[in-house]
Every structure is written in C-alpha cells, then in structure tokens.
Amino acid sequence: MQKSKAKSTEPAARRPYMPEYGLKPADEGQGLLPWSWARERLEHAHNYWIATSQPDGRPHVTAVWGLWLEDAFYFSAGRISRKAKNLEHNPNCVVTTESAVEAVIVEGATELISEQTDLDHISRLYKMKYTTGYPEDSNVYSVRPKTVFGFIEHEPEFSGSSTRWEFRSG
C-alpha cells in the first residue's frame, strides 16, 4: 500500500486461451468484459476462495474474508495455519470470488504486510465490511494480480464475454 496513490492503469484485456470451449473472437458476442466488471465483483464479494500449494505439491483451498483495494486483495491467516505455512513455502496463490455465475479468478503472489499504518488502514476497512477486525496475532497478506479471468456462466455470455486481464509487474 506504500505504492503510489496515483490512479491505477487498466490491465490489458483479451480472450483466454481455451481452444475446446468455443470462445468467440474478442470482437464478437458481448465482447471483452471491462475491468470495472471484475473490480466491482472483487470489491463486493463477501466470501472468497484461496488456493495455495502445500510443500509436497498438494493443493489446499479454503474460504476467507478479504478486501479488494487499490488493485490488490488483502486477507489474513493465522500465523501457524496451513495457509500461512503454504505461503511461506510458496507465495503464489489463486483467489476467486464466491460466485461461479459471474466468476473472477485472480492469479498472483502474496506479500506479507508489515507496515503498521497499512495494517491499521486495512483493519479499519475490514471492520467496516465485516463488523469485526482481523483476528489478533494473524498475518495480513496482499495478493497483487498477475492474471485475472472473468466468466459469465450462462450461454451465450460465456463464449462471447470470457476475458483475461494481464497486469504489468512493477
């Protein structure tokens, strides 16, 4: 969160590569979804799913509460939880919104938040959303997206609106 407060730039959008799913070209069907569509769902979801990898490679998925703020997802994990252990070993993860009808899937890497002013700010927003704060003695992480996918489940929207957004690192 110590990054520039300047307005974020729109990520590059295109169709995902899914050769067996009959996706239409980007200029057909409904067209590519705007980034605002994905951002709105990330901001307003109540529950999220986070997938991490255990040290032996097995997947681990769990539901979490969190915040989408300034192009990043923030969540907490108990310091000795399976999530925290997995993220210590491999910071890469996937975060999804709770709805598969209008799904948003974020691929990125976590970063542990340690700056107290950032933790206080995130905690205030978290408490406004959930009416409770993060559990004490938990780690707070941010996930900066590398790639985000958006899907509308029902045909014909799926084949004519599926979108992949690419974020620039830096």
User: pTM of the predicted model, to two decimals?
Assistant: 0.90
pLDDT digits (tens, 9 = 90+) for 55-98: 999 999 999 999 999 999 999 999 999 999 999 999 999 999 99
Q: Judge residue 6's burial from the number of C-beta atoms within 10 Å of its C-beta, 0-12 exposed, 13-18 middle, 19 or more buried.
A: exposed
Radius of gyration of the chain (CA): 17
Phi-psi region of 155 (alpha: psi -120 to 50; beta: other; left: phi over 0): beta
With residue 44 as reference, give the H or E element that holds it.
helix 35-44
CA distance 148 to 153: 16
pLDDT digits (tens, 9 = 90+) for 11-48: 999 999 888 888 887 887 778 899 999 999 999 999 99
Q: List, in order of start, the domains of the chain with CATH numbers.
A: 29-166 (2.30.110.10)
Is-contact 3 11, C-beta < 8 A?
no
